[in-house]
Each structure stands twice: as structure tokens, then as C-alpha cells.
Amino acid sequence: MNASKGLARIAGALYLAVAILSGFAIGIVRPTVYAAGDAAATTHNIAANEGLFRLGFLADLTQSACMLLVAMTLCLLFQHVNKNVARSIVVFAAVSAAIQCLNLAPYLAALSLATDPSYATAFGPNGADALVLLLLDLQHSGFLIAQVFFGLWLLPMGYLAFKSGMFPKVLGVMLIIACFTYLAHLPFVFLWPEAGNMLTPFVAIPATLAEAWMVLYLLIRGVKTPNQNSPVPAGV
């Protein structure tokens, strides 16, 4: 039980790091530099906030690595419940992390275009600005694609949280619901962007509540202490 609590708290700390780093990159850096539909303003913002933009890159890269480490730790925590399902957490997280890391290439290319005058000479100022905006839009689309797998990893996590007895069953159900809200939202984003943007705040509610509860439970409680009078689950 002490080993399980230790693994849970490691997973919670790493999960918290993912939330903080991704929140910084998405909630602070992107709004500071990105001006929707305004290529010149976006280029100017990147050049004026180059240090912040680079920190955003580092935050995104680090949170991708932390996400994979969270999945590996949760796999160890849950492997006594169902090894194959526990391993699927790692598979989904690894695919998501790989897409997110590759997706940082357009991000760096946008930085080079915005800060190196030779590109403005080669493409013309308007052409270079348009490419900067296109690359950031491409990076955002790639992030949404990665969310398919970021949503999917919540499904085995929620199932194992529900079945293991180490977490409140309601938490497991909420994680499963969060998975399906992620997945249901993405078709709207790509097929009907305006509707997708309107739905985004509503989609974020179950996902934010479920993941915040999971992080806090891992950090504070670790795992539930089994009732000494209850039968030990098979496989433990």
C-alpha cells in the first residue's frame, strides 16, 4: 500500500506539471503572440516576445515528456488490475506525446521567420508574415489531432480507477465521460469550426473537473486504503 501511495503521488506531481506547463503554453504564450487573422500583428508579437515564445516551446516539450512519464507511472500503479488496459494508457500517451513533439517543428519555424530578416527579404514582408500565421495555425491543428489520443488515454485510466477500488468510482466515471467529450468535440472543430469554438467551454468543464480531481487525489490521498474486512480483489 505504501508503494502504491508513492507511485500515486509521483504520478500526481508529474500530472500537475503537465497541467501547469501546458496551461502556460496555451493560456499565456499563445494569447500573447497570436492575433487571429492578422499575420503582421502575429509576427510582430513573436519578435517582441521572443523569450516568452521560446519558453512556450520549452514548456510544451517538457509537458509532453511529463505526460509520458505520468502514463508509465499509472501503468505500474494499475498493472495488478489489468496489465493490457494499463499498458494502453502508455500507448495512447506515447502517441499523443509524439504528435505534440513533432508538432513543435512549425512552432520553431514560425519563430525563425518572425525574427530572421533574411526570410522577409526572400518572401517579402507580407509573404513572411503570412507564413508565420500559417505555421501557428498548423501547430494549433496538430495539437487538436494529438487531443484524440490525449482524450483516449482517459478511457483506460477511468476504467482502471473505477475497477481498482483505489479511487472513488465516481472519479472513474468522470474520467470516462471526459474522454468521450474530448472525442465528440473534435469533429465539430474540424467540420464546423464556429460550432466547435462555441462548444469548447462546455467540453472543457467535465475534462477539467475530472483531471483536476484526479491530480488532487493522487497528490493528497494517493490511493484509498482498503477496508480490512473487505475481500482483496483478484490479482492483487
Domain boundaries, the chain: 2-156+214-221
Report pLDDT digits (tens) over 96-137: 999 999 999 999 999 999 999 998 888 888 999 999 999 999
Q: What's the average model confidence in pLDDT over 183-190?
A: 83
pLDDT, residue 227, reads 54
Residues sharing a CB contact under 8 Å with residue 178, sequence separation 6 or more, in sequence order: 151, 154, 158, 206, 207, 209, 210, 211
Report pLDDT digits (tens) over 131-157: 999 999 999 888 888 888 988 999 999
Report pLDDT digits (tens) over 203-225: 778 888 999 999 999 999 888 76
Sorting pLDDT into bands at 50, 70 and 90, what band is 232?
Answer: very low
Residue 229 has pLDDT above 50, yes or no: no
Pair 176, 157: CB distance under 8 Å: no
pTM of the full predicted structure?
Answer: 0.85
pLDDT, residue 183, reads 87
